[in-house]
Structure 1
Amino acid sequence: MTSSLRLETITPDNVGAACRLRVRPEQEDFVAPVAWSLAEAYANGETAWPRLIFDADELVGFVMGGFDPQSPVDVFRCGIWRLNIVAGQQGRGYGRFAVESVCAEARRRGQDRVTVLWAAGEHGPEQFYLRLGFRPTGQEIHGQIVGELLLAER
């Protein structure tokens, strides 16, 4: 991992590039487009944490965490809501950096558990999240598997 990786907030200057970000075609059924995620972030302004992932000056991805410690649904109190890595940039550690960044923000906010939802399928993100230490909880929400990472274990 290079020290040139960083997260940036979405601004008027970078929102267009963010909305043009595309994952591999076979992954499109597993993650919402960034434009949809930004609309969701706007609608959930108090809890959504959308960030762009840059390697030096190159946009390589998007991650959105969600932090709502008062949510009546424990799965939505602290988690990764979205992760999109540019099609040609996958497998280079950018997804791991994004997940670690959300975990760092969770710790900063006093959280000890991060959740993520994924749909099962050949081109889905399940193996990625399992490699990072997430474990299925046995729950499903909206037809998606709920995974959790206990931060105290890392």
Structure 2
Amino acid sequence: MTITLQPVSQKNYEDVCDLEVAKDQEDYVAENMWSIVESTFNEGYETRAIYRDDKVVGFFMWVKESIEKISIWRFMVDSQHQNQGIGRKALTIALDEIKQVPKLKEIEICYQPDNPVAGDFYGSFGFIEVGMDEDDDDMLAIIKL
């Protein structure tokens, strides 16, 4: 099994839009179609399709908030491909790519605090919870570089 990240393009955007999370995860993840629209009309948004070999199985989107900060806004693996180590490998690849951005000092991710696996999963990559966002909806976690 080879996991890669490739830019979302005319070639693969329909496959990305067709991905779905499990029913009990739908409240935690925005629709990929909406994310692709956002990235098309906003500067500093990066989208990646997660591939397992030659098949699209997931999606990432991160946003350059400032010269020193990037936020991961979207991260999902299709329900049929979960619990196979794909998400862990994909996040490792994404973080390696993000860390190459010059002058970057912080990577941020947010998640709903009632998501049963997010805190431990992101914590295993070095994300440290710093408190709730300004709307008091999502937990913020950061990696300082």
TM-score normalised by the chain length of structure 1: 0.83
Counterpart AA for 2:56: L
User: RMSD across aligned C-alpha pairs, in angstroms?
Assistant: 1.9
- What is the CA–CA distance in structure 1 between the aligned matches of 2:115 and 2:11, rounded to whole Å? 36
Structure 1 segment 85-104 matched on structure 2, within 5 A: 85-104=77-96
Tell me the residue number matched to 2:64.
Answer: 67
Q: CA deviation at 1:55?
A: 1.0
Tell me the residue number matched to 1:146.
Answer: 140
- What is the CA–CA distance in structure 2 between the aligned matches of 1:37 and 1:127, rounded to whole Å? 25
- What is the CA–CA distance in structure 2 between the aligned matches of 1:121 and 1:109, rounded to whole Å? 31
Tell me the residue number matched to 2:111.
Answer: 118
Instruction: Check if 1:127 corresponds to 2:124.
Output: no
Corresponding residue SS for 2:114: coil
Does structure 2 retain, via aligned residues, the 8 Å contact 1:63–1:82? yes
Counterpart AA for 1:90: Q
Counterpart AA for 1:22: E
Q: CA deviation at 1:16?
A: 1.0
Counterpart AA for 1:100: T
Unpaired stretches in structure 2, ≥5 consecutive residues: none
Counterpart AA for 2:114: G
Does structure 2 retain, via aligned residues, the 8 Å contact 1:106–1:112? no
Does structure 2 retain, via aligned residues, the 8 Å contact 1:118–1:144? yes
TM-score normalised by the chain length of structure 2: 0.87
The CA deviation string for residues 65-108 of structure 1, in whole angstroms up to 9 with x for no partner, is: 112325xxx8xx31211001010211222222232233222221
- What is the CA–CA distance in structure 2 between the aligned matches of 1:97 and 1:141, rounded to whole Å? 30
- What is the CA–CA distance in structure 2 between the aligned matches of 1:9 and 1:78, rounded to whole Å? 17
Q: CA deviation at 1:124?
A: 5.8
Question: Aligned pairs, how many?
Answer: 143
Q: CA deviation at 1:122?
A: 4.4
